[in-house]
Chain A
Amino acid sequence: MIGLPAYLVLGALVFSIGLFGVLTRRNAVGILLGIELMLNAVNINLVAFARFNGDVAGLVFTLFTISITVAEVAVGLAIVIAIFRVRRTVEADRLDLLRG
Protein backbone atom coordinates (compact mmCIF):
# COMPACT_ATOMS: atom_id res chain seq x y z
CA MET A 1 0.00 0.00 0.00
CA ILE A 2 1.54 3.27 -1.14
CA GLY A 3 0.74 6.03 1.32
CA LEU A 4 0.43 9.78 1.10
CA PRO A 5 4.13 10.59 1.81
CA ALA A 6 5.33 8.67 -1.25
CA TYR A 7 3.19 10.80 -3.54
CA LEU A 8 4.28 13.98 -1.77
CA VAL A 9 7.96 13.07 -2.23
CA LEU A 10 7.29 12.33 -5.89
CA GLY A 11 5.64 15.72 -6.27
CA ALA A 12 8.55 17.46 -4.52
CA LEU A 13 11.05 15.75 -6.82
CA VAL A 14 9.19 16.73 -9.99
CA PHE A 15 8.81 20.30 -8.66
CA SER A 16 12.57 20.55 -8.03
CA ILE A 17 13.36 19.20 -11.50
CA GLY A 18 11.00 21.76 -13.05
CA LEU A 19 12.59 24.54 -11.00
CA PHE A 20 16.02 23.45 -12.23
CA GLY A 21 14.73 23.69 -15.80
CA VAL A 22 13.30 27.17 -15.25
CA LEU A 23 16.59 28.38 -13.74
CA THR A 24 18.94 26.90 -16.33
CA ARG A 25 17.17 27.04 -19.70
CA ARG A 26 18.11 29.86 -22.05
CA ASN A 27 15.23 29.39 -24.50
CA ALA A 28 11.93 30.98 -23.43
CA VAL A 29 9.99 27.92 -24.62
CA GLY A 30 12.28 25.72 -22.48
CA ILE A 31 11.49 27.89 -19.45
CA LEU A 32 7.77 27.41 -20.12
CA LEU A 33 8.30 23.63 -20.20
CA GLY A 34 9.90 23.83 -16.74
CA ILE A 35 6.90 25.77 -15.45
CA GLU A 36 4.64 23.03 -16.83
CA LEU A 37 6.56 20.44 -14.79
CA MET A 38 6.23 22.51 -11.61
CA LEU A 39 2.46 22.92 -12.06
CA ASN A 40 2.19 19.21 -12.74
CA ALA A 41 3.92 18.44 -9.43
CA VAL A 42 1.40 20.64 -7.63
CA ASN A 43 -1.43 18.69 -9.28
CA ILE A 44 0.03 15.41 -7.99
CA ASN A 45 0.04 16.85 -4.47
CA LEU A 46 -3.54 18.12 -4.75
CA VAL A 47 -4.89 14.79 -6.00
CA ALA A 48 -2.92 12.81 -3.41
CA PHE A 49 -4.25 14.96 -0.55
CA ALA A 50 -7.79 14.72 -1.93
CA ARG A 51 -7.54 10.94 -2.26
CA PHE A 52 -6.12 10.29 1.19
CA ASN A 53 -8.25 12.82 3.02
CA GLY A 54 -11.50 11.91 1.29
CA ASP A 55 -12.07 15.52 0.23
CA VAL A 56 -13.36 16.38 -3.23
CA ALA A 57 -12.11 20.00 -3.09
CA GLY A 58 -8.59 18.95 -4.08
CA LEU A 59 -9.92 17.30 -7.23
CA VAL A 60 -11.89 20.42 -8.17
CA PHE A 61 -8.79 22.55 -7.62
CA THR A 62 -6.80 20.21 -9.85
CA LEU A 63 -9.36 20.78 -12.60
CA PHE A 64 -8.99 24.54 -12.10
CA THR A 65 -5.18 24.48 -12.19
CA ILE A 66 -5.20 22.34 -15.34
CA SER A 67 -7.56 24.79 -17.08
CA ILE A 68 -5.61 27.84 -15.92
CA THR A 69 -2.37 26.23 -17.09
CA VAL A 70 -3.80 25.73 -20.56
CA ALA A 71 -4.76 29.42 -20.69
CA GLU A 72 -1.31 30.38 -19.36
CA VAL A 73 0.46 28.31 -22.01
CA ALA A 74 -1.64 29.80 -24.82
CA VAL A 75 -0.92 33.38 -23.73
CA GLY A 76 2.72 32.64 -22.86
CA LEU A 77 3.47 31.12 -26.24
CA ALA A 78 1.64 33.95 -28.02
CA ILE A 79 3.94 36.36 -26.16
CA VAL A 80 6.96 34.26 -27.16
CA ILE A 81 5.90 34.42 -30.82
CA ALA A 82 5.30 38.18 -30.55
CA ILE A 83 8.75 38.66 -28.97
CA PHE A 84 10.26 36.55 -31.70
CA ARG A 85 8.67 38.75 -34.37
CA VAL A 86 10.26 41.85 -32.87
CA ARG A 87 13.63 40.60 -31.64
CA ARG A 88 14.23 37.56 -33.90
CA THR A 89 15.24 35.53 -30.85
CA VAL A 90 13.58 33.76 -27.95
CA GLU A 91 16.67 33.53 -25.78
CA ALA A 92 15.77 34.93 -22.39
CA ASP A 93 19.25 36.44 -21.86
CA ARG A 94 18.96 38.61 -24.97
CA LEU A 95 15.48 39.92 -24.17
CA ASP A 96 16.74 43.00 -22.31
CA LEU A 97 14.62 45.66 -23.97
CA LEU A 98 13.63 47.17 -20.61
CA ARG A 99 17.22 47.46 -19.36
CA GLY A 100 18.09 51.13 -19.01
Chain B
Amino acid sequence: MTLETVGFWVVATVLLASSLAVVLTPNLFHAVLYLAAALVATGVVFLLLEQPFLFAVQLLLYAGGVVTIVVFAIMLTERLVGERIAQTSRHVVNGAIVAAAVFVGIMGFLIGAPLGAPRPAETGDTTAAIGRALVGPFAVTLELLGVLLVVALLGALHFARSEE
Protein backbone atom coordinates (compact mmCIF):
# COMPACT_ATOMS: atom_id res chain seq x y z
CA MET B 1 0.00 0.00 0.00
CA THR B 2 1.28 3.41 -0.86
CA LEU B 3 1.38 6.30 1.52
CA GLU B 4 -1.57 7.92 -0.25
CA THR B 5 -3.73 4.82 0.24
CA VAL B 6 -2.90 4.54 3.93
CA GLY B 7 -3.48 8.27 4.38
CA PHE B 8 -6.86 8.08 2.67
CA TRP B 9 -8.15 5.27 4.87
CA VAL B 10 -6.89 6.92 8.05
CA VAL B 11 -8.43 10.29 7.14
CA ALA B 12 -11.67 8.68 5.98
CA THR B 13 -11.98 6.80 9.27
CA VAL B 14 -11.33 9.94 11.32
CA LEU B 15 -13.76 11.97 9.20
CA LEU B 16 -16.58 9.42 9.44
CA ALA B 17 -16.06 8.82 13.17
CA SER B 18 -16.04 12.51 14.04
CA SER B 19 -19.05 13.14 11.76
CA LEU B 20 -20.99 10.41 13.57
CA ALA B 21 -19.93 11.93 16.88
CA VAL B 22 -21.26 15.33 15.76
CA VAL B 23 -24.76 13.96 15.20
CA LEU B 24 -24.81 11.47 18.10
CA THR B 25 -23.11 13.05 21.11
CA PRO B 26 -25.60 14.37 23.67
CA ASN B 27 -23.43 17.36 24.67
CA LEU B 28 -23.78 20.19 22.17
CA PHE B 29 -20.42 21.71 23.03
CA HIS B 30 -18.69 18.38 22.40
CA ALA B 31 -20.54 18.18 19.09
CA VAL B 32 -18.94 21.45 18.02
CA LEU B 33 -15.48 20.17 18.96
CA TYR B 34 -16.11 17.00 16.96
CA LEU B 35 -17.25 19.19 14.07
CA ALA B 36 -13.89 20.98 14.23
CA ALA B 37 -12.18 17.57 13.98
CA ALA B 38 -14.36 16.64 11.00
CA LEU B 39 -13.57 19.93 9.26
CA VAL B 40 -9.82 19.49 9.76
CA ALA B 41 -10.10 15.92 8.44
CA THR B 42 -11.89 17.30 5.37
CA GLY B 43 -8.99 19.71 4.94
CA VAL B 44 -6.59 16.77 5.01
CA VAL B 45 -8.72 15.13 2.30
CA PHE B 46 -8.12 18.26 0.22
CA LEU B 47 -4.41 17.87 0.95
CA LEU B 48 -4.57 14.25 -0.28
CA LEU B 49 -6.16 15.59 -3.47
CA GLU B 50 -3.13 17.88 -3.86
CA GLN B 51 -4.93 21.15 -3.13
CA PRO B 52 -2.88 22.85 -0.40
CA PHE B 53 -4.54 26.23 -0.99
CA LEU B 54 -8.01 24.83 -0.29
CA PHE B 55 -6.59 23.10 2.78
CA ALA B 56 -5.46 26.49 4.10
CA VAL B 57 -8.83 28.10 3.28
CA GLN B 58 -10.65 25.23 4.98
CA LEU B 59 -8.59 25.64 8.15
CA LEU B 60 -8.87 29.44 8.24
CA LEU B 61 -12.53 29.89 7.36
CA TYR B 62 -14.21 26.66 8.46
CA ALA B 63 -12.22 25.28 11.37
CA GLY B 64 -11.22 28.76 12.51
CA GLY B 65 -14.22 30.95 11.74
CA VAL B 66 -17.30 28.75 11.78
CA VAL B 67 -16.37 26.81 14.91
CA THR B 68 -15.62 30.03 16.79
CA ILE B 69 -18.98 31.54 15.82
CA VAL B 70 -20.87 28.40 16.84
CA VAL B 71 -19.09 28.26 20.20
CA PHE B 72 -20.03 31.89 20.80
CA ALA B 73 -23.67 31.18 19.93
CA ILE B 74 -23.80 28.23 22.32
CA MET B 75 -22.24 30.28 25.09
CA LEU B 76 -24.75 33.10 24.55
CA THR B 77 -27.88 30.98 24.37
CA GLU B 78 -27.07 28.36 27.00
CA ARG B 79 -25.50 30.68 29.55
CA LEU B 80 -28.56 32.89 29.59
CA VAL B 81 -30.95 30.01 30.11
CA GLY B 82 -28.72 28.48 32.78
CA GLU B 83 -29.31 24.88 31.71
CA ARG B 84 -26.78 22.26 30.82
CA ILE B 85 -26.00 22.15 27.13
CA ALA B 86 -27.50 18.72 26.73
CA GLN B 87 -29.51 18.06 23.64
CA THR B 88 -31.70 15.16 22.73
CA SER B 89 -32.60 13.60 19.43
CA ARG B 90 -36.02 12.67 18.18
CA HIS B 91 -37.29 10.29 15.51
CA VAL B 92 -33.91 8.54 15.48
CA VAL B 93 -35.22 5.48 13.64
CA ASN B 94 -37.05 7.53 11.01
CA GLY B 95 -34.02 9.76 10.51
CA ALA B 96 -31.73 6.77 10.10
CA ILE B 97 -34.09 5.22 7.55
CA VAL B 98 -34.28 8.43 5.49
CA ALA B 99 -30.51 9.00 5.65
CA ALA B 100 -29.81 5.40 4.66
CA ALA B 101 -32.31 5.67 1.79
CA VAL B 102 -30.59 8.82 0.52
CA PHE B 103 -27.21 7.09 0.75
CA VAL B 104 -28.49 4.07 -1.17
CA GLY B 105 -29.95 6.41 -3.80
CA ILE B 106 -26.64 8.23 -4.22
CA MET B 107 -24.78 4.92 -4.47
CA GLY B 108 -27.24 3.65 -7.06
CA PHE B 109 -26.64 6.78 -9.09
CA LEU B 110 -22.87 6.45 -8.70
CA ILE B 111 -22.86 2.84 -9.89
CA GLY B 112 -24.86 3.78 -12.97
CA ALA B 113 -23.01 7.02 -13.65
CA PRO B 114 -20.51 7.13 -16.53
CA LEU B 115 -17.54 8.42 -14.55
CA GLY B 116 -15.19 7.79 -17.45
CA ALA B 117 -11.47 7.32 -17.39
CA PRO B 118 -9.67 9.86 -15.20
CA ARG B 119 -8.01 12.53 -17.24
CA PRO B 120 -4.51 13.64 -16.32
CA ALA B 121 -4.64 15.82 -13.27
CA GLU B 122 -3.75 19.47 -13.22
CA THR B 123 -0.03 19.54 -12.84
CA GLY B 124 1.91 22.27 -11.19
CA ASP B 125 0.56 25.01 -8.99
CA THR B 126 -3.24 24.95 -8.89
CA THR B 127 -3.24 28.03 -6.65
CA ALA B 128 -2.16 30.20 -9.56
CA ALA B 129 -4.81 28.58 -11.77
CA ILE B 130 -7.49 29.28 -9.12
CA GLY B 131 -6.39 32.91 -8.93
CA ARG B 132 -6.52 33.34 -12.69
CA ALA B 133 -9.98 31.72 -12.84
CA LEU B 134 -11.25 33.97 -10.02
CA VAL B 135 -10.45 37.17 -11.89
CA GLY B 136 -11.11 35.68 -15.33
CA PRO B 137 -14.27 33.66 -16.06
CA PHE B 138 -15.55 33.90 -12.47
CA ALA B 139 -14.93 37.62 -11.91
CA VAL B 140 -18.64 38.52 -11.73
CA THR B 141 -19.29 35.69 -9.28
CA LEU B 142 -16.44 36.91 -7.13
CA GLU B 143 -17.93 40.42 -7.00
CA LEU B 144 -21.37 39.01 -6.16
CA LEU B 145 -19.75 37.01 -3.37
CA GLY B 146 -18.32 40.21 -1.95
CA VAL B 147 -21.79 41.78 -1.99
CA LEU B 148 -23.22 38.67 -0.31
CA LEU B 149 -20.64 38.82 2.48
CA VAL B 150 -21.44 42.49 3.16
CA VAL B 151 -25.18 41.74 3.19
CA ALA B 152 -24.65 38.77 5.53
CA LEU B 153 -22.55 40.92 7.86
CA LEU B 154 -25.19 43.65 8.00
CA GLY B 155 -27.95 41.06 8.41
CA ALA B 156 -26.15 39.34 11.27
CA LEU B 157 -25.61 42.70 12.97
CA HIS B 158 -29.29 43.55 12.50
CA PHE B 159 -30.53 40.26 13.97
CA ALA B 160 -28.08 40.18 16.85
CA ARG B 161 -28.29 43.83 17.92
CA SER B 162 -29.50 44.63 21.38
CA GLU B 163 -33.01 45.99 21.71
CA GLU B 164 -32.30 49.44 23.11
Residues of A within 8 A of B (CB): 1-10, 12-21, 23-27, 29-30, 32-34, 36-37, 40, 43-44, 47-48, 50-57, 59-60, 62-64, 66-75, 77-82, 84-85, 88-90, 93
Contacts and interface: CB of A to CB of B under 8 A. Distances in A.
Contacts of B122: 50-51, 54-56
B119 A52 contact: yes
Contacts of A3: 118
Interface centre among A47, A50, A54 (most CB of B within 10 A): A47
A16 B103 contact: yes
B4 A93 contact: no
23 contacts: A2-B8, A13-B16, A14-B16, A16-B102, A21-B22, A23-B94, A26-B88, A29-B70, A29-B74, A32-B70, A33-B31, A37-B19, A47-B49, A53-B119, A56-B130, A59-B130, A60-B133, A66-B57, A70-B65, A70-B66, A73-B70, A77-B70, A80-B77
Given A12-B103, A69-B66, 4 more contacts: A26-B87, A75-B152, A80-B77, A81-B76
A66 B61 contact: yes
Contacts, number: 229
A47 B77 CA distance: 35
A63 B54 contact: yes
A33 B90 contact: no
Given A12-B107, A17-B99, A78-B155, A57 B118 contact: no
A14 B19 contact: yes
A56 B8 contact: no
Contacts of A64: 141, 145
Contacts of A55: 122
A18 B119 contact: no
Nearest to B127: A59
B23 A25 contact: yes
Contacts of A37: 19, 22-23, 35, 38
B110 A9 contact: yes
